[in-house]
Structure 1
Amino acid sequence: MKKVLMAIVVISILITAPLIYNRAKIEWNNDTYEMIVPYEEIRELAIRGLDTDTIVKTLYDNGVRGISFEPTGIQDLVKQGLVMTLTKSDLFSMLQKEDENTRESILYSRENGLYVLLRNDLDDRWENAIVKSFGDRIDKVTDLPIFKGESIYFIKGISKEELTRGMGAVANPILTRPIGFDENLMTEFASYGFEPVFRIGNNINENNEYVLDQMKQLQDKLGGHKIIFTGNTMLGVAPHKDLKTEDAEQYALRLVNEGFVLMPIEFTKQDGLNIYAKQFNNKIVRLHSLDFFDGRGGYTDRATRAVKERNIRGLYVHVADIKKLEEETITAEQSFEVATQELEAITSQMADKHQPGIAQSYDLLQASKWMTIAGLVGVAAFIGLAALMVSEKIALLTFAGMLLVAAGYIVTGATMFLQAASLVVSIVAATWAAISGEYINSKKDMVFKFLKGAFLALIGVWFVMSLLYGNQFLVKIEEFRGVKLLFILPIVLTFLHVIRDHVKDLAMTVVRNYYLVIVAVIAAGLMILVVRSGNDAGEMVSGTELVLRQKLEDFLFVRPRTKEFLIGYPLLVLGMYIIYQGKGWEQRIGKYLLAGGAIGFLSTVNTFTHLHIPIYLSLLRTVYGFVFGALLGLVLIFLYRLAKKYWPMIQERL
């Protein structure tokens, strides 16, 4: 039975090898990152005295290749002096010299809304866009004596006064409604070598859908094909969860068919992302936002880690704080100086492998169903092999149980079956790797069992990467599930395994006070371990630790996991040595330390469950963990031997 299960595991690994190779190749070849700056901030710096040509040249020289543009709204035309907006009160004040009937007709006959006065030299396309955007909500006004010959419209809605009364400044949807992109402006920046990036919100419908038509025209003309959605919802997403979402699916299908690429913002929950990701076949470019003026600091490290370690290929860079500029707490010159310094630091510290340019989505990663099934059968065989340590009957039951999981996937195609199998094989691999050091007969055996444990952990890793395969995992639309269980169960299972032969002795042991202290310390350590685990966990990391981590990162290109090289593997090596040298209770302590060694192996497996991290980086990090952890383990052995030698002398003096 053992030979049959081993053969199945080997065959499964050979069948799924093309998947691992293909993912590694695709990750390695996509090495261009794109820095994108919002045009609004460039405009704000220029308004406050900076030369536009200087801004543009400096940005380009420091690696910026994308400029994001939002569709123009009435408020943008107001800023340019092309349009004036008036409330009823404004207009009433302007009609002081008119007769009372005219003034009262203005004040009482109109619905709520805004008057929009257009300058005579305003381009006709903007007037047409305004009229189309508001449909039956807009009327041309011809009965105002003081505006004879002027183009003035009334738009039904909420006035500026009503929006701001008692609730602070709120964006008026009349002023912010998209009416079209400034084609001349985008063409100008494209001539400088920048890629136009479209930023749109969930405020486009059948009345102003021509904004999307214009995006397609500009894409064909200027080459820009990336979309960033503003706010917390994507285009077409219903305003309430109980409402239908067909609009989102239709818009997503339209945009993907027109060749656009989606850029979701990391750490920003945007409703509709899963709908869009499905239509886009998960071919998206992840975006990380950097605001040099938010006071968080560490922008260079965050940018380089995002590109190098998290498969992020877009950096959305804020080069000005518009609010601070308006409040005059910072000058345009100071603002741009800060931005320039940060951009220079990012490009100089970025790994040589990654170059600034125009980012592309990852090539399509897609496993055939029979390859995935082969991976699931391999997982069943691997878990069955581990269960043989208990009995053949248990091995058969676990093998059959995992085949049922495979059957569930075959019937439904649901990802949750793959995630469940990945979690189980991760836990089993980390546990099996740790308990492989239970019997040590020589120093050579220590080396062999350490390598065997590493090999078992990496087999588990292989199956996780084979099952959770595809762009949805590469760009973090879908994730490995059950990280907390992975951080607890291997430790618990390893401990239960090593105490199985002397549970009765432990139960009969007289409990001393310091035993309770030891248990409390171990429990606290496990709690901290779990809290600090997870793909996006808010880690309780001190400033000193962050500095040390960065030093390791700078020196080694990628830092090994602290849990591996400082805790798990040193304890494993020490535990195996004590098992080899010790007798009686001392040997038992060595076996208990294997539970601590499980921390190293579960961390190794966990490293590869971060499926948005390139394989070559995870592998390099793991090798560092093995090597440094083993070396520190030798240091612990040396300290242990010293303590054992001198402890009797110390006891005599005490």
Structure 2
Amino acid sequence: MNGRYLQWNQKSMRWLWLLVVLGVLASLPIAYERFNTEDHTARKVEFVFDYRDLLEISDFQSDPRAFVNDQIKLLKKSGVHSMSVYEATLSELKLSRRIEVFTSHEAMALTQSPISPNENFTYILFAGKEAQERLQPLIAATFTSVNVKTRPWSFKNQAGMIIEMGQEEAMLRTMDPDPITLDMLKSEGFQIVVRLSNRRPFDAVRIDALLAQFQQYGIKRFIIDGETVPGYVNDKDWDNIDTMAELMKKHNMGLANIELQKAQQKGFNRLSKMLGYNVVRLHSFTEKDGEKLTENLTEEELRTRVQEVADRFVLAVKDRNIRIVFLNARAVKNVDKGKILHPLAAIAESLKGPDGAIPRILDAGYTTGIAEKFQPMYPGWHKVAKGFVWLGAVALIALTISYFVPEITLLLFILGMLGSAALYVYSPALFAQGLALGAGTCAPTLATMLAIRSARQRHRTKTGSSLLFAVLLLLRTALISAMGICFIVGFLNTITYMLVIEQFRGVSALHLVPIVLVVLYWLLFSEDSSYKEKRERAKKLLSSYISVLWVLGAIVVGAAGYYYLSRTGNEGQASAFERLFRSFLENTLGVRPRTKEFLIAHPLFLLGAYLCVKYRNAVLLILIGVIGQASIVDTFAHLHTPLHISFIRIVYGLSFGILIGIGYIIVWEIVARSWRRWTPLLLKGS
């Protein structure tokens, strides 16, 4: 039985490779459907300014209303055609100059009339008849709903009202958005985006009426204000959220998903799912970001920062499927200049100035307008294609392990199919992510191990052109690594990953595991030797004496590894110099290749493949090249990046990597030949 199994195991290698190829081919039409979704739907980009921020800045001006009017005209001229309006509060109505608010003590001082010392109410005076007619019913209904009494009040023929609640608490109460502001912004030609919170008790009748009002204003989408979506109670009670979704669909409302949040808003995923993922991604330019444009800067420094902001917006749209750019700003006290500054003019410059964001976004094939959702297609044949992708992924994982323990390849494939089937029953999402991560990790690992074998074979034969061999080996290795891309795209092609409602976990593992496996393969498994010899070699390595030099080397490698991993994934950090270099590449090429690929990994791989004819240990440079191979796959693991952008990035990385690698080879040849020429003369002279 053992002999028969080994025969089947040996024959299975060819069939497993066939399954891998079939899986790759099956993933290509799935990838094409995703490309069509990204390239032919949701091509409108919406720039939204926070109207509340504008009110807060105006509070520092000598003529607040004139300031607001001037700035909304500037913003509209600069390409901002949408304004964000929050649920109203007394604080915001006061900023809008629609009401004045007083405590009981302030009202007593104002009216010169005694008020009970036990009273702690809120007094309001309306700025005019329109404010009274439109806001008094709104305010009264809000406080009546929480059992707080209100009554009319006036001072010198100016209408007002009394709210029987302390001012601090009353100022926090949310109500429907200010209708006067909605009318004004609509009359100015702005599209309105509403911020809705979960601060009020959920009332389906009230929400229905509110969304109907929004629909009359042409509002298409709202952004969650706070940590929970309207109607959220807990992770087990979804009744209110399901009702909210039905009302939103009734009134044709969608959501926006804010990128780079510390945590997704509670209930957001459920609400998005019930809406059929009528969701767009939103990039937030925060108040803190705006402050950087108000610092003590020279004109040149300010122009540089404005350009960086423009680059940031363009990159967000092109590289991360952002369809709403949300702009914030605030006033800043500048002691050195003795002024209250704000970044509104600089923000406007970043949008429509020389080399501004909006003209560049238009040049890239987008238009400005109301953001629309992606419209993915999931035809019935996807299930059949994904079946082949499943077979291919498990086969690829089994083949990779076969380079370490070949005898268990067939067994691993069978167990892998059974285990992954059980995982699918337990959690389809975990099944897809697990196999995508496994195949994505194994592809660059297998590609580099095959490259090491080819380099060793090349060292033994010493035939042909070394440069041609090196270039072809790099391209072949990249092509094998690209199989991991196909499996990741094939498994994770749903809209939830494009919108980052779900995230592909394990990006750091995708970077680190191939390096560990390839080094392990090089140390113990790349030579034809028995398991006993491998064990002896491992034992010898583990029992080797450790010198100070080894410790220092380990520290350097560990620090490099930590830096490498700290910069991977969506939250990786880059230095200021690297951000500047990235910006240069992005503006020059349109799509930025990855630095570690074209400057380090690919050139060193090419140099190692070139030198392996003469030097056996040149394979160490090919080992470093596994970083570039893992990076190729990782580029497509950023599922919110359009496929064609990732593809261009890889092509640029290989193209420039080959050119720079040839430069490394030329430098090596010059140094080596000079060494061979001058060393004998120097020795003879000495």
Check if 1:530 corresponds to 2:539. Answer: no
The answer to whether the 8 Å contact 1:434/1:595 transfers is yes
2:613, 2:192 → 1: CA distance?
A: 66
> Of 301, 311, 321, which aligns to 1:301?
311
The answer to whether the 8 Å contact 1:8/1:381 transfers is yes
> Of 267, 270, 275, which aligns to 1:275?
270
Check if 1:478 corresponds to 2:497. Answer: no
The SS at the match of 2:322 is: coil
One-letter identity of the residue aligned with 2:201: N
The CA deviation at 1:211 is 5.8
Distance 1:91 1:557, change over 3 A: closer
One-letter identity of the residue aligned with 2:292: G
Superimposed CA distance per residue, residues 168-215 of structure 1 (whole angstroms, 9 cap, x where no aligned partner): xxxx44224333234454344334442111112222325796365233
One-letter identity of the residue aligned with 1:489: V
Check if 1:453 corresponds to 2:474. Answer: no
> Of 369, 377, 391, which aligns to 1:357?
369
TM-score where L is the length of structure 1: 0.85
The CA deviation at 1:285 is 1.1
The CA deviation at 1:299 is 1.2
The CA deviation at 1:305 is 0.9
> Of 426, 446, 450, which aligns to 2:440?
426
The SS at the match of 1:581 is: coil
One-letter identity of the residue aligned with 2:409: A
Superimposed CA distance per residue, residues 306-361 of structure 1 (whole angstroms, 9 cap, x where no aligned partner): 1111111111123x4246599996568x7543232222222244353233222211
> Of 580, 597, 614, which aligns to 1:564?
597
The CA deviation at 1:529 is 0.9
Distance 1:427 1:642, change over 3 A: same
The answer to whether the 8 Å contact 1:565/1:626 transfers is yes
The answer to whether the 8 Å contact 2:319/2:642 transfers is yes
Gaps (5+ residues) in structure 2?
1-11, 294-304, 459-463, 528-532
1:20, 1:400 → 2: CA distance?
A: 27
Aligned to 1:633: 661
How many residues are paired up?
A: 620
The answer to whether the 8 Å contact 1:377/1:406 transfers is no
> Of 251, 266, 281, which aligns to 2:259?
266
Aligned to 1:612: 640
One-letter identity of the residue aligned with 1:624: Y
What is the percent sequence identity of the aligned residues?
Answer: 24
Aligned to 2:162: 153
Superimposed CA distance per residue, residues 36-80 of structure 1 (whole angstroms, 9 cap, x where no aligned partner): 112234455594364666544433332212111123333344445
1:62, 1:343 → 2: CA distance?
A: 6
Aligned to 2:398: 384
TM-score where L is the length of structure 2: 0.81
Write the mapping of 1:514-525 to structure 2, written as runs, cut at 5 A: 514-525=549-560
Distance 1:469 1:176, change over 3 A: same
Write the mapping of 1:5-154 to structure 2, written as runs, cut at 5 A: 5-29=16-40, 30-43=42-55, 45=58, 47-48=63-64, 50=66, 54-79=70-95, 82-91=98-107, 93=109, 103=115, 106-108=116-118, 113-116=121-124, 121=129, 122-134=131-143, 135-141=145-151, 152-154=161-163
The CA deviation at 1:473 is 0.5
Distance 1:208 1:107, change over 3 A: farther
One-letter identity of the residue aligned with 2:161: I
The CA deviation at 1:237 is 3.3
Write the mapping of 1:329-348 to structure 2, written as runs, cut at 5 A: 330=339, 335-344=343-352, 345-348=356-359
For the aligned residue pairs, the C-alpha RMSD in angstroms reads: 3.4
One-letter identity of the residue aligned with 1:415: A
The answer to whether the 8 Å contact 1:33/1:354 transfers is yes
2:246, 2:91 → 1: CA distance?
A: 31
The CA deviation at 1:393 is 3.2
The SS at the match of 1:263 is: strand
Aligned to 1:163: none
One-letter identity of the residue aligned with 1:225: K
2:479, 2:113 → 1: CA distance?
A: 91
State which drifts further: 596-605 or 452-461: 452-461
Aligned to 2:611: 578
The answer to whether the 8 Å contact 2:585/2:592 transfers is yes
2:158, 2:675 → 1: CA distance?
A: 103
Write the mapping of 1:150-229 to structure 2, written as runs, cut at 5 A: 152-156=161-165, 159-160=166-167, 172-206=168-202, 210=206, 213-219=209-215, 221-229=216-224
1:535, 1:36 → 2: CA distance?
A: 24
The answer to whether the 8 Å contact 2:204/2:244 transfers is no
The CA deviation at 1:3 is 3.2
The CA deviation at 1:376 is 1.6
Distance 1:360 1:149, change over 3 A: closer
Aligned to 2:461: none
The answer to whether the 8 Å contact 2:469/2:609 transfers is no
State which drifts further: 186-195 or 429-438: 186-195
The SS at the match of 2:231 is: coil
The SS at the match of 1:199 is: strand
1:327, 1:207 → 2: CA distance?
A: 51
The answer to whether the 8 Å contact 1:310/1:614 transfers is yes
The CA deviation at 1:460 is 0.7
Distance 1:87 1:615, change over 3 A: same
The SS at the match of 1:574 is: helix
Gaps (5+ residues) in structure 1?
161-171
